[in-house]
Chain A
Amino acid sequence: MKFRDGQIDVAIVAGPRLRLWPTQGVRVLSRYCSDAGLRVGWYGGAGIKVRGVLPGESGGAVVMVEDAQSRLHRVQAKAVVKISSELEFPLPFPGWYSPGLIPESTARRLLNEGSLNWQSVVVILGSGNRALRLGSELLEKNLSSRVVCLESVYDQVQGWEVDLRRFEILGGKIAFGKPVGLEQKSPFTWSLKIQDPQGVRIIDAARIISVGPFAEDAGYREFPPGSLLVEWENTEAAQLQEDVEQVLLDEHRAVVLASTLIRGLAEPSAEFKSQLEKQLWSSKQKLKELESLSARRFRWSYEGKWLSQASKLALHAHEGVPKRLEAGKIKASIECVEAIGCRACEKSCPADAIRIDRDKKTFLMEDACTGCGFCLQACPSQVPVMIEGDATSSFTHLIFPITEKPLPKKGDRVSLLSRRGEVLAQSRIIDLFLDGPVPLFKVEVPSHLVWEARGILPLENVGAVQDSSEFYQERGTRVEIQIQGDVRRVREGQLTSVALFEIGMARPNDILMCGDGSCGLCQIEVDGIKKFACESTIHQGMNIRFTRDHPSSSELCPCEGIETPAFQERISAVKPETLEALTQVIGVGQGRCHGLLCRKSWMCLAEQAGVQVERYHDWRFPWGDWAIK
């Protein structure tokens, strides 16, 4: 075994299953610390696996890192910041632990692998931006004909108005209620029971995807206090366009955290110190503002199908909307009324006609707008439209970007949709612009609907997709394999986990699909040898047997078989004061997956019972198999 030793001031380490590395917060934290003269290292990403952290008795920790050449590095760090992923499930309900309910990461993996079975209904648990965007993606690609985002808090959609608008225009529905039961109806259909104020409703769905958010963004915590050992539950927002608020939250939190680390470890110059103090003050102010932002979401209001007077006034008062429509001229309308400020449209505009100020208000320089359409494609939420004409004649034209497949054709009849996806009128596509840098189509709109219509629904091929080949092209040839003694035909070279989902034989153990064995749940026996389904691929004639099979359950911690009532009963009997005690006494989170399935849930329940959740760090080694020799 090759072994190397090193020393560093601040080690920033990636926890398992991070979607993005390094995150924006990591970059900012690292920059500030290195500017203060600290030696900073990032450990994570391709080729670098963090194997664990060993906290020292007198502060600091040893970080164990494996590199691409299987060398082990033992890095002594004075401060450690562990970035944890956001994998989340809702609080357990009967049947939650089953192949019917999969986390977003698994859903994305199935999507990327071209897996079937998204018809006809997909339910997404959660209504944040990520949930709404996943729903929009499924609808846009015609993978699913109906997508429902289920939010447990009544009338509190958590995502941006622009993403909600896009989702609803594409035909997505928002439902409010708590999931209370999940049962398998057929190999590809699951019955989800939802409790709402009117009673219990049942939705039959092909998949239920757990996206969230289900709890407040926790930020970071240092434990023990003063130890400079920090766990940061990062939002992992990749770019401003994906979630500008979370990116900003990360940035400002990184400044606050950096100042703590610098104060504890470095002696920066007076000049740097004063700069940092200023930045710290400003970041703390911004954090206060950002943390209360979700309470100030903008929502359109309606009178019947039409925008209410108040919403109309808000729309026309918005600086991103053109104030003077002119005959024969095309102008963009940037209807991002909520102060988002991701700047995607501003950056894309070649004519500098869009400006976003420090308060994240959008301004359109009408005279400068050339109607090029770049902003239409750049916006991740597809908010902008272009308006052609002055709305004084009977018809005006709206121009939208082409995102849907199959491509619309000139002359196609379409329904015009309001911002919440209701049909307003019928119209037709009068032009396509496929030669330019941005493929666009123009639709004729009655002038009185020019501020109401913001989407279309093709009148041809409406409804469910008739033929799977429209959205699915089978990759690879089918081969015969044996699963539990049955002969099945599955695609060669496909991941076994994906194949199991595709033929409806997935087990609850397969839902995490980590791809690196880090959860250790999806063990199977392939030709007599134990392997993980998420790591092995299909080949002709293979014989698969299930060696470990957790049944579907409503348990809080399925690996250890701990149910919520038993957990609550033990808490009230033992009254543990820390999570460390809780894990020892009850054994929750100590199973094979090491809390990947249940950690958030039992932490939430423990917090409700008065246990100090901030006094806990999980520095264990849940990161996959070691083959180091």
Chain B
Amino acid sequence: MKLSVDFLLVGTGVAPLLAAQKLVQRGETVAILNPDSDFFLENSELPLDLLSFETTDTDLNRRFTNNLPEQMYRDLSPGFPGAIEIAKEEDLGKLASEYQVESAPWIRARRRMWVAPASGPSRERLESLYLRALDLGWKPQWLEGLAMARRFPGFSARSAESRDLEGWVGFMGPKLGDVDVTRYRTGLLEFVRERLGRENVLTSVHSLGADGKGFRFQGKQGQPTGVSVNRAVLHFWTPRLERGLRNQLERYHPRSLRGFNESATRQLWEEWDLISRDPVNPFVVAHLESLRVWSHGEGMPPPDGWSRIKVMRRELSTRLAGESSFSDIGRLVFEFMGWERFTVRNMTPRSFYRWNQTTPIEYDAEGVRNLIIPACDGPLQWIATQVRKAIDGV
């Protein structure tokens, strides 16, 4: 079998799907190769910005602005073949409008909340962030004690009197967006499969590489296949493809590999799923030191909220679920939220890069033009923006 396409896309998650959609709109012929057995195994795509890299005021302001629900909608909707809905707190409990699509990806507007112990360096960082947010005109609201704690997702007021809640301070920040990653991916995949045909969206491919006439790979059953590529092979850099892409760069463009090593820093996060016995406030995402905490679900939250809680924890070592993880989770659950016990339903490691350099890397392999598009991981909206920019430049 021999395929012939203008663009061959190699990637694991949303990025190749978005790129394919955009290229098809331009009238190009496209095929997608995914080394994973499915497009849903890529877990470096985040529903929201974890806002963990605040350095300068400009950066903070840019990220706040970029993550506003309306901006998120503007970034995600071009290229998405269907409706994207926005959920706001004031709509909770209201019946969905007949024009709303229940199964569409929803962007929820959730307030960001930062919490820290009332003394120590964390408090200083919190105050500094508060002042910066104030200066930038984001109207943060300073909170202390029970008034602050009760807004925290998963907080239990049952034994609040016996806990030292005065030892915590925090502030409420702006309403930022988060999106249903799976629904977004599903919508794109359904559309791309229909447009390209199943024979041009291939999973479980392996032994990929350029040859003199184009590109070759082996399919699910191990059958060797050649692709004649008229214009370029586009590789979308995600952590799952990292090893293969590094090998390619080392072979064809070692200089850019050195540049990549300098410009991208890998982050490892633990994603914990907890179950609360009481419904949880679905419209707040809380930052408690290295933890991000929010109530998790898809679509519009039910009137009494979801009971599942996501906790993202930055792990600075490579040692997952170690003593410090449990100490952090235990502190959150027992000391702050005031639960008697907790149920861990899942723990998944998630890794992604913080990219300083997002320009595609171009090189020639056996006479075929290859482009590696970095920054295809992290918040979904960021991926969509990067991919769109890269495809516009191709």
Contact residues of A between 428 and 459, Cβ < 8 Å to B: none
B47 CB to nearest chain A CB (Å): 12
Among B35-43, B104-112, B384-392, the stretch that binds chain A is B35-43
CB pair A581 B39 closer than 8 Å:
yes
B273 CB to nearest chain A CB (Å): 8
Which B residues are in CB contact (< 8 Å) with A64?
321
CB pair B203 A592 closer than 8 Å:
no
**Proximity string of chain B (315-353) to chain A, C-beta cutoff 8 Å, 1 when within and 0 when not:** 000001111001100100010000011111111010000
CB pair A626 B343 closer than 8 Å:
yes
- Name A54's contact: one of B190, B273, B347 (CB within 8 Å): B347
- Name A615's contact: one of B37, B190, B277 (CB within 8 Å): B37
- Distance in angstroms between the alpha carbons of A625 and B345 in the assembled complex: 9
Closest to A3 in B: B323
CB pair B326 A3 closer than 8 Å:
yes
Contact residues of B between 333 and 380, Cβ < 8 Å to A: 334, 340-347, 349
Known contacts A575-B193, A585-B182; decide if A626 and B277 are in contact (CB<8 Å).
Answer: no
Which A residues are in CB contact (< 8 Å) with B323?
1, 3, 74
CB pair B346 A629 closer than 8 Å:
no
Known contacts A52-B347, A624-B343, A627-B340; decide if A584 and B40 are in contact (CB<8 Å).
Answer: yes
- Distance in angstroms between the alpha carbons of A248 and B341 in the assembled complex: 42
- Name A577's contact: one of B37, B298, B307, B349 (CB within 8 Å): B37
CB pair A573 B341 closer than 8 Å:
no
Which B residues are in CB contact (< 8 Å) with A627?
340-341
- Whether A574 is near chain B, meaning CB under 8 Å from some CB there, is yes
Closest to A531 in B: B277
- Distance in angstroms between the alpha carbons of A52 and B320 in the assembled complex: 12
Known contacts A54-B347, A621-B346, A625-B343; decide if A574 and B41 are in contact (CB<8 Å).
Answer: no
**Proximity string of chain B (260-286) to chain A, C-beta cutoff 8 Å, 1 when within and 0 when not:** 000000000000010101100000000
Which A residues are in CB contact (< 8 Å) with B277?
523, 530
Contact residues of A between 599 and 620, Cβ < 8 Å to B: 612, 615, 620
Known contacts A1-B330, A54-B349; decide if A520 and B343 are in contact (CB<8 Å).
Answer: yes
CB pair A625 B38 closer than 8 Å:
no
- Whether A103 is near chain B, meaning CB under 8 Å from some CB there, is no
B218 CB to nearest chain A CB (Å): 15
CB pair A72 B326 closer than 8 Å:
yes
CB pair B40 A576 closer than 8 Å:
yes
Number of interface residues of A (CB under 8 A): 38
- In the complex, how many residue pairs between chain A and chain B have their CB atoms under 8 Å apart? 87
CB pair B342 A578 closer than 8 Å:
no
CB pair A622 B345 closer than 8 Å:
yes
- Whether B248 is near chain A, meaning CB under 8 Å from some CB there, is no
Most chain B CB within 10 A, of A54, A517, A578, A581, is at A581
CB pair B38 A628 closer than 8 Å:
no
CB pair B40 A580 closer than 8 Å:
yes
Determine chain B's interface SS by DSSP, over half rule. mixed
- Whether B66 is near chain A, meaning CB under 8 Å from some CB there, is no
- Distance in angstroms between the alpha carbons of A622 and B343 in the assembled complex: 8
Which A residues are in CB contact (< 8 Å) with B193?
575
- Name B344's contact: one of A573, A577, A621 (CB within 8 Å): A621
- Whether B189 is near chain A, meaning CB under 8 Å from some CB there, is yes
- Whether B61 is near chain A, meaning CB under 8 Å from some CB there, is no
B192 CB to nearest chain A CB (Å): 12
Which B residues are in CB contact (< 8 Å) with A576?
38, 40
Contact residues of B between 127 and 186, Cβ < 8 Å to A: 182, 186
Closest to B344 in A: A621
Closest to B324 in A: A3
Which A residues are in CB contact (< 8 Å) with B189?
574
CB pair A74 B321 closer than 8 Å:
yes
- Name B190's contact: one of A57, A573, A621 (CB within 8 Å): A573
- Name B341's contact: one of A578, A581, A625 (CB within 8 Å): A625
- Whether A62 is near chain B, meaning CB under 8 Å from some CB there, is yes
Known contacts A585-B40, A612-B37; decide if A62 and B320 are in contact (CB<8 Å).
Answer: yes
B40 CB to nearest chain A CB (Å): 4
B219 CB to nearest chain A CB (Å): 13
Closest to A618 in B: B346
- Distance in angstroms between the alpha carbons of A620 and B342 in the assembled complex: 15
- Whether A594 is near chain B, meaning CB under 8 Å from some CB there, is yes
Which A residues are in CB contact (< 8 Å) with B190?
573-574
B110 CB to nearest chain A CB (Å): 20
- Whether A587 is near chain B, meaning CB under 8 Å from some CB there, is yes
Which B residues are in CB contact (< 8 Å) with A54?
320-321, 347, 349
- Distance in angstroms between the alpha carbons of A54 and B330 in the assembled complex: 19
- Whether A165 is near chain B, meaning CB under 8 Å from some CB there, is no
- Name B326's contact: one of A1, A517, A574, A624 (CB within 8 Å): A1
- Whether A51 is near chain B, meaning CB under 8 Å from some CB there, is yes
- Name A621's contact: one of B203, B340, B345 (CB within 8 Å): B345
CB pair A578 B344 closer than 8 Å:
no
Contact residues of A between 318 and 351, Cβ < 8 Å to B: none
Which A residues are in CB contact (< 8 Å) with B182?
584-585
- Distance in angstroms between the alpha carbons of A626 and B190 in the assembled complex: 40
Closest to A224 in B: B37
B242 CB to nearest chain A CB (Å): 10
- Distance in angstroms between the alpha carbons of A621 and B343 in the assembled complex: 8
Which A residues are in CB contact (< 8 Å) with B349?
54, 57
CB pair B330 A628 closer than 8 Å:
yes
Closest to A528 in B: B158
Which B residues are in CB contact (< 8 Å) with A581?
38-41
B224 CB to nearest chain A CB (Å): 20
- Distance in angstroms between the alpha carbons of A584 and B105 in the assembled complex: 13
Closest to B334 in A: A629
- Distance in angstroms between the alpha carbons of A262 and B198 in the assembled complex: 40
Known contacts A54-B320, A62-B320; decide if A629 and B330 are in contact (CB<8 Å).
Answer: yes
CB pair B40 A74 closer than 8 Å:
no
Closest to A517 in B: B343
CB pair B341 A621 closer than 8 Å:
no
27 contacts between A and B (CB under 8 A): A1-B323, A1-B327, A3-B322, A3-B326, A52-B344, A52-B346, A54-B347, A54-B349, A62-B320, A64-B321, A72-B326, A74-B321, A517-B343, A523-B277, A530-B278, A574-B186, A577-B37, A577-B203, A581-B40, A581-B41, A585-B40, A612-B37, A621-B346, A621-B347, A626-B341, A626-B344, A629-B330
Known A54-B321, A57-B349, A626-B342; 13 more pairs at CB < 8 Å: A52-B321, A574-B186, A575-B193, A577-B37, A580-B40, A584-B40, A592-B307, A620-B273, A620-B345, A621-B347, A626-B341, A626-B344, A628-B326
A interface, CB within 8 angstroms of B:
1, 3, 51-52, 54, 57, 62, 64, 72, 74, 517, 520, 523, 530, 573-578, 580-581, 584-585, 587, 592, 594, 612, 615, 620-622, 624-629
